[in-house]
Amino acid sequence: MRFRETQLDDYLIYAGAVEAANHGGYIAALVVSRRGVTARRGFEAFRDESMGCGYCWPSAERAISYAVTRAREMIRKGSPALRC
């Protein structure tokens, strides 16, 4: 597994690429945590361990890029999927 950590506003984004067992390639995974004064330290706001219905990306970097892009969209749009 490979991962990248980034931050946007009060959110920490942990995007990962998990090697697909039978298909070759990588599955995108994402955890978004809220931090700051109004939330407990490390409060998990969103988790998806098989993004895009388990779509198999050809490279780890493309899977991670997809996960980070989706996280940024959810945060900027104030998605109801973020539980905080």
DSSP state of 61: H
Residue with tokens 């940024």: 72
The pTM assigned to this predicted structure is 0.86
Q: pLDDT category, 37, cuts 50, 70, 90?
A: low
Closest CA to 4 of 77, 81, 63: 63
Span 20-49, average pLDDT: 82
Q: Is the pLDDT of residue 5 over 60?
A: yes
Per-residue pLDDT tens for 50-79? Answer: 998 889 999 999 999 999 999 999 999 988
Domains of the chain, residue spans = 2-77
